[in-house]
Structure 1
């Protein structure tokens, strides 16, 4: 059973959290997930160096809305002084807490010693966590992986270091960096971390259904869960978790009409924040996820990828979801 989670002074009544995903969990998608019952959201990861050198894109990533409270800002970097500088500068932002990314496996991130590369430098990681925690007036959390590779599994060590250096919670993705997102996530390592530290532990990896969320809690004892790819095209997963917790889950999947309504709102939100040209391009991948597994979805994806305006995209989706599928459920 999921109990309320305390991260410093922040209380999350239902700790089912949307994972930060680059290029995906922008303000528009976070708002959609909050409306579905997501307990907490976190921004896409923001470069501390980008903030230091006044990069406009980095500042755009930190845009938040009162509707998504409590929201965390995730930062990444490997220079402890710049990370501390960023934490200090962010103290006046309206976010509730600060998250440090030490788990991103992307080559362009780890080649600079950031993200999951810090799993190979535990002492340095500890200095960064302490520097950020001392500079921030808000709680600091850390996201890590199982380890760098199977013969370098050190999630327990990293979690203990995070705790010792001021972190208020730690999130564990049950894969090594070498795995990226392939294979199965190791939930056992999450259980081991939970037993190794006193701070809250949030589990992450292979959460593609409400049932999987509750199973992870039962099997690992984690204090909260972080849903990543399982929310892509399926923000209803948060509603489903709430339904299971309240014993109201009926297993009803959204029909074509509901999918269309959410897609339309999603597109409108992205357009309002980024403009139509960018919104249409960014929504192509989301539309593919929303329609994945539906009859004829390959055809509609091809058509959507050629749409040049929001009106064109909505017309294609309306014809497909409201007429062709009618009330078909997935």
Structure 2
């Protein structure tokens, strides 16, 4: 069993990464249903929360069926981070996570996210400010360093642990890599081998199959794995990994019916949370991911992008299912 403060997780937990414009309550609910053990909100600007920005406040929405759930904040000002942690406390998540890993220019240019990797003293001060301002467990997600010439994760891990954080997630790339190139998990293995590190260390980067998850678990010794892009349009990955760990067998891939059911659930929950029209408009980014690699789907994708009501969704799902049911055995999936 892995513990983060008083939160009890399985022996090797699978975490859903916080992803901007992806990890909202409808998507998290689907991933929870398919085996995710711990999830996080989309990252939230500390300054946005303090200004009472509507978009930032909306990201605080969490639901009991998601638990355990963490809310992730980012920023470069100690006072703002402390105040935002207190605001986060009011919605009673299970933990607060600090984002020191986002590589996006608009975040980094404000001295936040991965931008803080250039100044470990500031990273420590920001983390201390959050830890002192909340009774909730505080965790951190970060990267190896700014670039290959400035990998500082060893110092970061020890100094952040000393601030009182309860777990650390390491995306095994530098900020300069963004999401390109291969993640280098050897650094995670080294952190885990450091006798001074006592908190759980979770690995992140390039995990996209049950086989790779088991290989990385055994080779790099991390306490759990965080999955991000591989779960987009494919929430089944969590249970596939768990099944492989338990049996050594690979589950068959989701059928067209499974994929359509997931799309419908995601769309219904999105409509309930955001309103029907907006919920379905914001679903448009997901359809292609659910049917990636599926032959003959292109005409249906265009239709999915046009629907604005759940009734239209129901009719299109029935039409799509009927089409694939009627495929000849030679061309069926």
TM-score strictly above 0.5: yes
* Partner in structure 2 of residue 319 of structure 1: 319
Contact 1:256 1:329 in 2 (8 A): no
Partner SS state of residue 251, structure 2 = coil
Q: 1:211: Cα distance to partner?
A: 1.8
Q: Any stretches of 5+ residues in structure 1 without a counterpart?
A: none
Q: 1:317: Cα distance to partner?
A: 3.6
Partner SS state of residue 325, structure 1 = helix
Alignment match of 1:77 (pick from 71, 75, 78): 75
Per mean C-alpha deviation after superposition, the further-off stretch among 206-215 and 131-140 is 206-215
* Partner in structure 1 of residue 37 of structure 2: 39
Change (3 A) 1:232 1:308: same
Q: Deviations 1:141-169 (Å, cap 9, x if unpaired)?
A: 00001111111111112111211111111
* Partner in structure 2 of residue 233 of structure 1: 233
Per mean C-alpha deviation after superposition, the further-off stretch among 34-43 and 154-163 is 154-163
* Partner in structure 2 of residue 268 of structure 1: 268
Indicate yes or no: 2:105 matched with 1:141.
no
- TM-score, normalised with respect to structure 2: 0.93
Q: 1:115: Cα distance to partner?
A: 0.3
Contact 1:253 1:329 in 2 (8 A): no
* Partner in structure 2 of residue 86 of structure 1: 84
* Partner in structure 1 of residue 14 of structure 2: 16
Contact 1:280 1:313 in 2 (8 A): no
Q: Distance in 2 between matches of 1:109 and 1:80?
A: 16
Q: Any stretches of 5+ residues in structure 2 without a counterpart?
A: none
Runs of 4+ in 1 over 6 A off after TM superposition: 327-330
* Pairing 1:211-226 to 2, within 5 Å after superposition: 211-226=211-226
Contact 2:60 2:88 in 1 (8 A): no
Q: Deviations 1:201-241 (Å, cap 9, x if unpaired)?
A: 00000111122222221111000110000100110001112
Contact 1:255 1:329 in 2 (8 A): no
Q: Distance in 2 between matches of 1:234 and 1:114?
A: 30
Q: Distance in 1 between matches of 2:70 and 2:302?
A: 35
Contact 1:254 1:329 in 2 (8 A): no
Contact 1:71 1:97 in 2 (8 A): yes
Q: Distance in 1 between matches of 2:121 and 2:332?
A: 51
Contact 1:142 1:171 in 2 (8 A): yes
Partner SS state of residue 172, structure 1 = strand
Q: Distance in 1 between matches of 2:128 and 2:99?
A: 14
* Partner in structure 2 of residue 285 of structure 1: 285
Q: 1:277: Cα distance to partner?
A: 1.8
Contact 1:260 1:318 in 2 (8 A): no
Q: Distance in 1 between matches of 2:111 and 2:47?
A: 13
Q: Distance in 2 between matches of 1:112 and 1:8?
A: 31
Partner SS state of residue 85, structure 2 = helix
Alignment match of 1:68 (pick from 34, 49, 66): 66
* Pairing 1:63-212 to 2, within 5 Å after superposition: 63-196=61-194, 197-212=197-212
Q: 1:188: Cα distance to partner?
A: 1.0
Q: Deviations 1:98-118 (Å, cap 9, x if unpaired)?
A: 000000011111110110000
Q: Distance in 2 between matches of 1:115 and 1:96?
A: 22
Per mean C-alpha deviation after superposition, the further-off stretch among 297-306 and 238-247 is 297-306
Per mean C-alpha deviation after superposition, the further-off stretch among 48-57 and 210-219 is 210-219
